[in-house]
Structures are given as structure tokens and as C-alpha cells.
Homo-oligomer: A and B are copies of this chain.
Amino acid sequence: MTEKTKVAMVGFGTIGTGVARLLLDRGDRSSRHAKGTLHLQAIVDPDTKRSRGIDLPAGLLTDDLTRVTGDPEITVVAQLIGGLEPARTIMLQLLESGKDVVTANKALLAEHGPELFRRARQLGRSIAFEAAVAGGVPIITGIGQCLAANQVESLHAILNGTSNFILTRMEERGQDYAAAVSEAQSRGYAEADPTMDVDGSDAAQKLAIMAQLAFGAQVDWKNIPRAGIDNVELADLRWACELGYRLKLLAVAQLVPEGLELHVSPTLVRHGTPLAEVRGAYNAISVVGDAVGRVFFEGLGAGQMPTASAVVGDLIDMALGHTEITFGALQLWPDGEGRVAVREPGDVSSRFYLRLNVEDRPGVLAEIAGVLGWHEISIASVIQHEADEEAPQKSIVPLIIMTHTATEGAAATAMETIDGMPFVRPGSVRMRVYDS
């Protein structure tokens, strides 16, 4: 590895521009750990006209993919096209033309990972994807290589920076959801259509990739139970605070004797724990390994340069030979049987936060407690303030209940019953609680 490794890039958008900047402006810098310098040989993008604010050597940018697939000297390619197609087809073409491929596309891996990993393995090629989960945070190498002596027991993670930014704004500034979304958009933290970010889909895709890596779980991300922050109300952030918690969109993979629990949902995270303190657009992952205990990683999960940092890190790993070893050692293809069964969502246990809008009259709490008790859900604490004399519906008050551990199934059934009671008004909220 004393010579330059010739690399190419397919896709020249925001991330691609960041990668080009690192490779062109700082070739000598990244060469320190890579010995030889990575040499950027070609950039392929259908749009060869638009200025990206970066000076490119003449002839580097092309709209012709065969400049890469047909050049045997190029051995390593960063595939930086978003979405599923043509990203999937181009990725297969790159693998078939003998390239090792780096990608930051988590949607592609969550959807077509098994196919792509299997094909790469058949062809003796490697795929690296540090940038696909948590941007600049080295969690893929962390789990896949550094913590290899451990059985991972659980992952609790904030994987969507947009959601975390919105929740932080709501909490710290008292902005409502719509205002916080607008601000995230104006700052470039949220897309014009932020649906995938705020509805939990993006986090579920990343969780599926991590669950494959850490537990060998082969799971379709669409089957991961998920709720987003799009229904979170300021009231719940305030109640959470009063109870000593912060509200976070938490992605969880937890190994229990009965199998692997997977879910994404707004969760009350106890104040003072590392995950509760993650602010703004940051991502974080709390990993528990059976030997190492808890290891916590935090950093920027998106953005041009943090993502480019991970992509170029992967390119260096490929040039040096790390990726071939890691990809060979990890069993990231579905030839073998899944090593762990995913648990039925209804069987997953948690503590719960309940917020009910109830009529302010005697006996209400007793009847609700009775329903919870019937479903073997015991109450840890209750908050019921007096009705606000100024409120338009004077007789309706919020009732906040924190439960002890109960199954998702029992909690859902109990809530259905409670919501049907005559003194309970629409708008009940139920969220998980995470204490450690």
C-alpha cells in the first residue's frame, strides 16, 4: 500500500462535494493514516454543469458511469446517490465491475442490504457503510470491530438528528411542533418533506442495519414497530420534565432470553443519563456489551462534512485492507439462518408514561387504576393537578400516570379500554420510559 489507491465517486451532491473536498484539498492530510494518498480519479453525476463551489481538475467530472466501471485501475468507489433506484442498480454494476463500494445510503441498505451484501460476497468484493448510520460517529466500526469480544446486550440510540433538533427546540424554547419543524427546515436540518425523519422511518432503517451488525438479526425495517415525534405535544415535554425526564426519539434493540426486542418511539429518558443530555442535531448510541459494560458514542449524525468524514474513513479502510477483513468476518448476508429471533412487539416490556384527559370528578382515578390492575399494570406514580379555572372546559384535567414494567400488549389493551370510558376524552398519550 505504498502507491496511491485510485478511487472514484458516483453522485455529486452535498455529501459528494464534501468527500471531494476532503480528497482534493486534503490529500496529504488523509494520507497520514492511509500511507499512500487516495487519488480521486473520476466523479460521475448526470449533472456536470451545476457549480458545487469547489474547483475540480479538468476532466474529473463526467456523466459516463463506464469511466468508472470500465477502468480497472479504479478499485474503490464511493457510491453517494440517495434513494433506492438507480442507487441499487449502480451499486450492483460497480460490484460486478470489480469495485469495492462505500455507501452512505441507509435506505438502500435497509431495503436491499441482504441482496447487495450477498452479491458482494459472491464476487469477492466488500461494502463499507460507516456513514449510513449516525454520520460521523464511528458506531459501525465500534460494534463490528472494536467491541468484537462482547456479546452486545442492548443498543439505545438517538439516530435521527432532525427529530432530536425539533425536540430540543420544543423543550428549551417552548416552541410548538410546527414552529420547531420550520426552524429545522430553515437551518437545513430538515427536508422540505420531513416525513421519513419525524415519523421514525429513518431511525428504523438505521436500527435495522445496526441490529444486523450487532445481533445478526435479519429484519425488514418496515416490520420494526415505530412511532415518530409528529404527534408529540409540548404538554408531554413539560410533564416529562416535571417527572425528571427528557423526551427523545429512541431506537432500541435489546436482547432478552426470549429474543431480540426492536422498536422506535418517543421515549421519556431519565434526566442525567447520557442519552437525555444529547441536544440539537446530534446522534448518540449507548451500547451495552457483556464484558465492556456501557459504551456511549455521540456526534453529528448528518451534514456534509461529518458524513464525508465517515465516507473518506471507509475509503481509507478499503485502501489499507481493513474493509476486506471486516466484511469477511461479519456475517452480513443471509446465507446462514438468522442467529436471533425478533420478539413479538406485544411481548416487549417497558415502563410507560400515560397522559389522559379526564373529567375532574371523584372516582375517576380509582376506575382507571382498576383497569390497569386488571391488566396487571401497576402504577408507580400519579400526577393530577387541579383544574385550571381559566380553561374553557373547566371540568377536564390531565391525569399523568407512570407505570411499573408492563408488556406493550397489556398496555395497549388497557389503554383501549380506558379510552372507551365515558369520563375519558380523546387525546390520550402513551410513551415508553427509559431509566438507565
| Pairs across A and B, CB under 8 Å, 28 listed | A22-B291, A26-B151, A32-B216, A33-B145, A34-B329, A130-B146, A138-B295, A147-B313, A148-B312, A148-B316, A148-B317, A149-B311, A149-B312, A149-B315, A274-B274, A284-B296, A291-B309, A292-B306, A292-B310, A293-B299, A293-B306, A294-B300, A295-B297, A295-B298, A296-B298, A298-B298, A320-B329, A321-B321
A330 to B320, CA, bound (A): 11
Chain B residues with CB under 8 Å of A329's CB are 1, 33-35, 320
Other-chain contact of A296, B29, B297, B305 (Cβ < 8 Å): B297
Chain B residues with CB under 8 Å of A150's CB are 309
A145 to B130, CA, bound (A): 12
Q: Which residue of B lies closest to A272 (CB)?
A: B277
A30 to B290, CA, bound (A): 11
Cβ of A136 < 8 Å from any Cβ of B?
yes
A306 to B295, CA, bound (A): 10
Cβ of A259 < 8 Å from any Cβ of B?
no
List residues of A (151-190) whose CB comes within 8 Å of B's CBs: 151
Cβ of A84 < 8 Å from any Cβ of B?
no
Are B298's CB and A274's CB within 8 A?
yes
Number of contacting residues on A, CB 8 A?
61
A22 to B330, CA, bound (A): 19
Known: A29-B151, A148-B312, A149-B308. 16 other contacts (CB 8 A): A1-B329, A18-B291, A32-B216, A34-B329, A136-B292, A142-B142, A145-B313, A148-B317, A149-B309, A149-B313, A272-B277, A277-B277, A291-B306, A293-B299, A320-B325, A322-B326
Chain B residues with CB under 8 Å of A291's CB are 18, 22, 136, 305-306, 308-309, 312
Are B136's CB and A33's CB within 8 A?
no
List residues of A (6-34) whose CB comes within 8 Å of B's CBs: 18, 22, 26, 29-30, 32-34
In order of increasing CB-CB distance, the 10 nearest A-B pairs are A138-B146, A149-B312, A33-B148, A136-B292, A292-B309, A291-B309, A295-B299, A296-B298, A291-B305, A148-B316
The residue among A284, A291, A326 with the most chain B CB atoms within 10 A of its own CB is: A291
A35 to B328, CA, bound (A): 9
Cβ of A141 < 8 Å from any Cβ of B?
yes
A-side interface residues toward B, CB under 8 Å?
1, 18, 22, 26, 29-30, 32-35, 130, 136-138, 141-142, 144-151, 216, 272, 274, 277, 284, 289, 291-300, 303, 305-306, 308-313, 315-317, 320-322, 325-326, 328-331
Q: Which residue of B lies closest to A19 (CB)?
A: B149
Are B300's CB and A293's CB within 8 A?
yes
Chain B residues with CB under 8 Å of A29's CB are 151
Are B321's CB and A325's CB within 8 A?
yes
Other-chain contact of A277, B30, B146, B274, B328 (Cβ < 8 Å): B274
Q: Which residue of B lies closest to A135 (CB)?
A: B292
Are B293's CB and A149's CB within 8 A?
no
